């Protein structure tokens, strides 16, 4: 009789062990599922934040383009300075946008003035150098004023800018 009791005990031990292992695996699977769910939620939040940040940046750039273009329209801002700023803003909005025919003058002005020092380097220039560069920029403005004005009007009427 004792020979039958031992296998029965082993069966109970094995059932207990298998049940413990299954419960332990269920706990691991549940933990992984919760972790995956949390990861997906975090990714969705990050994506929403990135989209919101992108839209805010676009809005800021479009507002800046509009403000500068209006400044040119109202003769409150020099055309050369505006062309340089607009080129940078347009490139930040859509890199290929400044390649269109109507905006090529912005790239031309930007490239033509790359050799002119900016900001603190400008302040450090001697007055005669500042005068020489100012004359150069004045010549560019006189020569290309109508093209710059046309670019400004194109920007103000473009759906990318106008409809935002």
CA angle 82, 85, 87 (to 5 degrees): 105
Q: Would you tell me the crossing angle of helices 2-73 and 79-93 to the nearest 10 degrees?
A: 160
Distance, in Å, from the CA atom of 99 to the CA atom of 6, rounded to the nearest integer, reads 87
Q: Rounded to 5 degrees, what angle do the CA atoms 63, 69, 70 make?
A: 90
Round to whole Å and give the CA distance between 67 and 45. Answer: 33
pTM for the predicted model, two decimal places: 0.77
For residues 53 and 163, give the distance between their C-alpha atoms in angstroms, rounded to a whole number. Answer: 19
Q: How far apart are CA 157 and CA 57, in angstroms?
A: 20
Question: Which range has the worst mean pLDDT, 5-19, 74-88, 106-120, 125-139?
Answer: 5-19
Domains identified in the chain, total number: 1
For residue 23, give its domain range.
Answer: 2-162
Q: Report the run of H or E that residue 96 belongs to, with start and end.
A: none
Indicate whether 99 pLDDT > 70.
yes
Summarize pLDDT for 1-44 with one digit per residue, the tens.
Answer: 455 566 888 889 999 999 999 999 999 999 999 999 999 999 99
Written as six digits, the tokens of 94 are 């859509």
pLDDT for 43: 97
């Amino acid at each position: 009789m004792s020979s039958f009791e031992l296998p029965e005990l082993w069966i109970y031990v094995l059932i207990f062990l298998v049940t413990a292992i299954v419960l332990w695996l269920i706990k691991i699977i549940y933990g992984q599922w919760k972790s995956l769910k949390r990861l997906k939620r975090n990714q969705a939040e990050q994506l929403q934040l990135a989209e919101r940040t992108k839209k805010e940046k676009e809005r800021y750039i479009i507002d800046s383009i509009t403000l500068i273009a209006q400044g040119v329209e109202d003769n409150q801002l020099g055309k050369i300075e505006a062309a340089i700023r607009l080129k940078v803003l347009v490139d930040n909005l859509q890199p290929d946008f400044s390649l269109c025919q109507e905006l090529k003058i912005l790239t031309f002005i930007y490239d033509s003035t790359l050799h002119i020092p900016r900001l603190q380097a400008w302040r450090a220039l001697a007055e005669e150098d500042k005068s020489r560069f100012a004359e150069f920029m004045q010549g560019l403005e006189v020569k290309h004023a109508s093209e710059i004005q046309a670019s400004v009007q194109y920007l103000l009427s473009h759906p990318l800018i106008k409809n935002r």
